[in-house]
Amino acid sequence: MRPTAARPPVHALACDVCGRLPHPPRTRLALAKLAAVFPVELALHALVIRLHPPYLVAVLLLTITTTILVIWVVEPSAMRFLGSWLHGPELRDRDRADQAPALWRIRVHVDDRPGQLEALAAHLADREANILTVHVHHLESGVLDELVVATPIDVTPHALTAAVTKAGGTKVRVWPASALTLIDGQTKALAAAARVVADPDELPLAIAELLGAKYLSSGPTEHARADGAMLELPNDPESPLTFLRADEPFTPAEIARAHRLNDLARIVTHPT
């Protein structure tokens, strides 16, 4: 049985920059203010009626006392006390986001034979892994499959590796992925191409955005090489374009797109 995640506290919704909470729904805010102010108003009016002061004194007493209590005491206290209820919808959305399925990118070498992908899907299904995207790269010996899968939050990379290995896969690698992984690669590449055609100087940044990598303007270093996967594109013989991605290696399709963008920039810059 999966443990139930505790609801995040209200302050988890605060803005990272200004520290303010999101504005609660108008109806809930009105009801919270009414619930906070009504008992104070009722008690003050009952006290004034019981004491029976002169009319002007009663008006001033009610106005000043109510204003001070409501603005500086009652309303802030009520907002803190009713915070979980006021921001209930936002907290429920936060719960759903925290409990959303985990995304994983899987790279595996398999034999190029009928039924291999079906076997792979069947063993992943045993782990409740739902295949979202598949890219097949044909190699000299076999096939390299790139998959993005969604799993329950408690499924581990080790469990996915075991399932893929059981299906006949070798050289299995598993990395955490994000929703950005699901964006269509061809669409991203076309958008980057249009950006490079408009301004060839945008090439390094366009490739970095396309690959989700960091552009190393000063070139590769030994420290950078140890931090993750590195890609170098020929630009200038003395200063090639260098990109670093720490979380996962570059796929053959991504490398090919980067090279084609580089070629496109050269054509635009030197049309002859």
Give the per-residue pLDDT at 154.
83
Digit-coded pLDDT (tens) for 8-48? 566 665 554 455 666 677 787 778 777 777 787 788 778 88
**Which candidate, 131, 148, 210, 140, places its Cα nearest to that of 182?**
148
| Segment (H or E) for 236 | strand 229-236
Q: How confident is the model at residue 158 (pLDDT cuts 50, 70, 90)?
A: very high
**88 found inside a domain:** yes
Tally of structural domains, the chain: 3
Shared domain for 195 and 231, answered yes or no, is yes
Give the per-residue pLDDT at 3.
41
Question: Which tokens in the block code for residue 163?
Answer: 């399932």
Shared domain for 237 and 255, answered yes or no, is yes
CA atoms within 13 A on the CB side of 253: 15
Shared domain for 91 and 116, answered yes or no, is no
Answer with the one of 182, 215, 238 that is the final residue of a domain: 182
Give the per-residue pLDDT at 47.
81
- pLDDT at 182 > cutoff 60: yes
Shared domain for 76 and 141, answered yes or no, is no
Give the per-residue pLDDT at 39.
80
Shared domain for 175 and 190, answered yes or no, is no
Shared domain for 36 and 75, answered yes or no, is yes
Distance CA 184, CA 131 (A): 15
**Which candidate, 36, 75, 38, 45, places its Cα nearest to that of 63?**
45
- pLDDT at 129 > cutoff 60: yes
Distance CA 111, CA 114 (A): 9
Q: How many CB atoms lie within 10 A of CB 164?
A: 26
Digit-coded pLDDT (tens) for 56-83? 888 887 788 777 777 777 667 767 777 7
Tokens 């020929």 sit at which residue?
234
* Residue 210 belongs to domain spanning: 185-269
Q: What is the pTM of this model?
A: 0.46
Mean predicted confidence (pLDDT) in 242-267? 84
**Which candidate, 136, 134, 120, 128, places its Cα nearest to that of 156?**
128
Shared domain for 176 and 219, answered yes or no, is no
